[in-house]
Structure 1
């Protein structure tokens, strides 16, 4: 209650219109934002090359890069459109313990844009691993995902593409597809596995620790 009151007092001081920006945002919205629970609307094919959609794609990449993420969907930056992007760089992989890279099947994924995507399960066997989300900052949980999927979609030029993903890349694709349907990993997680990734730091700081919602 005390923390909530401090936030409300801060919000009252700055006013609701202070620094207000319209979507697409340059930040990731958080769980509780109604946009994350809406089924996204398809993009008209003849609008893909429009300034609006191309701007949205560029903003998705901008936020993806800024947060150092591997996937980002339009709802996460406040836009109700069926578009997501994903990628996994060699630099990102280099920062992950080699054993985790091997066991999770993490590989380089080139930057890709998916418009009006559909998902087909190729391998119905499931793998359970810890998973997080930029829209649920500071927490992770165990989530079961299909081992291999195929994503069919239109790219940024409006051309049809079909790509198969396995292991970790398949997990990213499934995670982002769920965003477009108004779902979060918290809907299907092992509830007992949910944890704050900063729990140790909270204890060391005697509770005086702020969870960042925006990258430095």
Structure 2
């Protein structure tokens, strides 16, 4: 358990964030908080404050909109993230990408490990790198170990797009952005994505931009 002197700064930071109205401000790439390993959660926020912070993270994720948000993305270096994906996509994309609805979850102190050797490469974006997307090859299936917001253990296998979301948000807690894993020749603006690369897979983009899948 963290000492009381360790708790105060984080409590104050979260209280300050929650004192504002509307969605929390999302930190953009270039801020050091996104490049440091987050501090494991060990009671730094009491249950009431934690619940309020989780609710604010969820509201901010919805407003962005996004399918995941890690605490460092709002400037709080705690190993905590929220994920949720209603998966409002056409059936063709749903089938190819394995993008199925993912109910709201809170991930506390998450770590993941690949299950098997299969990998999947798709365009990916990030709320902290607005306006851009790039292709990232990730394990197609992962085992997640974590706790929920009530301290109950989580040991679950995720596949398809939910596995990608889990990896992306957990990477944030290790100080890693998706661009660190991306094929940089695939980097495309949102405008280019809408005009050229709306196909279910990045195969056409790989041919046009000259990167391997």
TM-score, normalization by structure 1: 0.76
The answer as to whether partners of 1:30 and 1:135 remain within 8 angstroms in 2 is: yes
Q: Which structure 2 segments of 5+ residues have no match?
A: 1-14, 196-213
The CA RMSD over aligned residues, in Å, is 2.1
Q: 1:201 to 1:73 in 2, by over 3 A?
A: closer
1:159-180: CA deviations, max 9, x gaps? 1112211011100100001100
TM-score, normalization by structure 2: 0.77
Between stretches 46-55 and 122-131, larger displacement belongs to 46-55
The answer as to whether partners of 1:48 and 1:156 remain within 8 angstroms in 2 is: no
Distance, in Å, in 2 between the alignment partners of 1:184 and 1:112 is 21
The answer as to whether partners of 1:48 and 1:157 remain within 8 angstroms in 2 is: no
Q: Which structure 1 segments of 5+ residues have no match?
A: 1-20, 203-216
Shift of 1:51: 3.2
The answer as to whether partners of 1:48 and 1:158 remain within 8 angstroms in 2 is: no
1:117-146: CA deviations, max 9, x gaps? 121211221111110001110000010000
1:198 counterpart = 2:191 = yes
Moved over 4 A (4+): 46-49, 199-202
Counterpart selection for 2:31 from 30, 33, 38: 33
SS at match of 1:193: strand
1:99 counterpart = 2:92 = yes
Q: Counterpart of 1:81? A: 78
Q: 1:201 to 1:104 in 2, by over 3 A?
A: closer
- Alignment: residue pair count: 177
Shift of 1:102: 1.1
Distance, in Å, in 2 between the alignment partners of 1:180 and 1:114 is 11
Q: Counterpart of 1:117? A: 110
